[in-house]
Structure 1
C-alpha cells in the first residue's frame, strides 16, 4: 500500500493535514530504521568485537518514545485506534455522524489537554537539570516527542471532526470512511 500525503480537506486544513502526514511518516520510518540499525550494530559489536555500544540502550529508549508518540498520531490518521462501537453501530447514520463529530472533538480536547500536561512535565524535568548518563543529553529533550505526539493526534482528531462536518459520509479519520466491507476476518 502506497502512502499518500494528499488531504481531502480544503485550503489551510488540507495543508496542515498533509504536513502532519509527512512528519508522521518521516518520524516513524526514521525511528524504526535507526532503532534497527542501532540494535544490529550493538549486537555485532557485542558478539563479534566483544564490546557493546555504550549508548545503545539510551538511544533505543529515545527512539521508542519517538515511535510511540508519532505512532499515536499515525494510528488516528488511519483510524487504527481501538473503538468500542457496539452501541454506535446500532445507531442510524445521522446519529452516528453526529456522534463521530462529538467523539472526535472530545478526543481532540483530551489530546490537547495531555499535550499541555506533558509540556508542564517537561518544564519540571528541565528545571531539575537531569541528563542521560551515556549520551549526556538533558532528559527533557528526549521527552519533547510526548507533547508533539499528543498535539499531532489532537490535530488529527480535530481534522476528523471538520471532515465529518464538511462531507456527506461518516469518516473515522480524514480519509477513512466507516464501514466493515473491506475488513478481513481474522481467525485466532
Structure 2
C-alpha cells in the first residue's frame, strides 16, 4: 500500500490522524532499525575478533544480538506493510479484476487487523506474566519484559497499518 494522499483520505479526519500517526511511527522505526543492524554487526564482529585474536569474548554479545534481531524483525514488519512487502498471493490476485482486488484487499486488512490486535493483546498478557515472575536474561541480566515488549508493541502498530489500509479509498 502506498502512503495516503489527501484525495485518498477524502477529508476523513480520523483516517488523516491515523495516517499521520503511522507515518510518524515509520519515520522513527526506520533509522532505529538501521542503527540496530549496524550496532549488532559491529558488536558481533568485535566479539569474533576478541575471541580468536585477543583471547576473550563478550558474554552478552550473542544475547544482545538475538534480542535486537527480534525487535528488527517485528518493527521491520511495521515498515514493510504500507509498501506492500509482506507475503502475498500475487498470482491469484493478478487474475481478478480491480473490484476483486479491492475486495480481497479489504478482506486481507480485516484478517490482518484481527490477527495483529489479538497478537498484541495476548502479547501484553505475556508481558504482564513475565513482569510478575521477575524474569531476567541470563547474560545481560536485563528484565525479560524488554525483549518480550517487541511482540505486543509492533503488533499494535501493524494493526494500525491494517486499519488505515481498510479505510483508505482505493
Q: Do both proteins adopt the same fold according to a TM-score greater than 0.5, normalized to the shorter chain?
A: yes
Deviation at 1:36, TM superposition (A): 0.6
Could you tell me how far apart the structure 1 residues matched to 2:18 and 2:154 are?
18
Match of 2:144 among 136, 139, 145: 139
Residues 1:12 and 2:22 aligned together: no
Deviation at 1:144, TM superposition (A): 0.8
Aligned residues: 160
Deviation at 1:13, TM superposition (A): 2.5
Deviations 1:38-59 (A, max 9, x none): 1111112112211101111111
Secondary structure of 1:42's counterpart equals helix
Could you tell me how far apart the structure 2 residues matched to 1:63 and 1:115 are?
19
Deviation at 1:86, TM superposition (A): 4.1
Could you tell me how far apart the structure 2 residues matched to 1:23 and 1:7 are?
18
Could you tell me how far apart the structure 1 residues matched to 2:162 and 2:120 are?
14
Q: Structure 1: where are the runs of 5+ without partners? A: 1-5, 168-188
User: Match of 2:12?
Assistant: none
Deviation at 1:90, TM superposition (A): 2.7
Could you tell me how far apart the structure 2 residues matched to 1:58 and 1:67 are?
14
TM-score, length-scaled by structure 1: 0.77
Query: Does structure 1 conserve the Cα–Cα contact (< 8 Å) formed by 2:22 and 2:157?
Result: no
Deviations 1:87-124 (A, max 9, x none): 43332211221221121122122111111111111111
Secondary structure of 2:94's counterpart equals helix
Change (3 A) 1:86 1:69: same
TM-score, length-scaled by structure 2: 0.85
Deviation at 1:28, TM superposition (A): 1.5
Of 21-30 and 147-156, more deviation after overlay is shown by: 21-30
Could you tell me how far apart the structure 2 residues matched to 1:25 and 1:137 are?
25
Residues 1:41 and 2:38 aligned together: no
User: Match of 1:58?
Assistant: 63
Q: What does 1:60-79 correspond to in 2, within 5 Å?
A: 60-79=65-84
Higher relative contact order (CA 8 A, sep 6+): 2
Secondary structure of 1:90's counterpart equals coil
Residues 1:108 and 2:113 aligned together: yes
Q: What does 1:84-163 correspond to in 2, within 5 Å?
A: 84-163=89-168
Q: Structure 2: where are the runs of 5+ without partners? A: 10-15
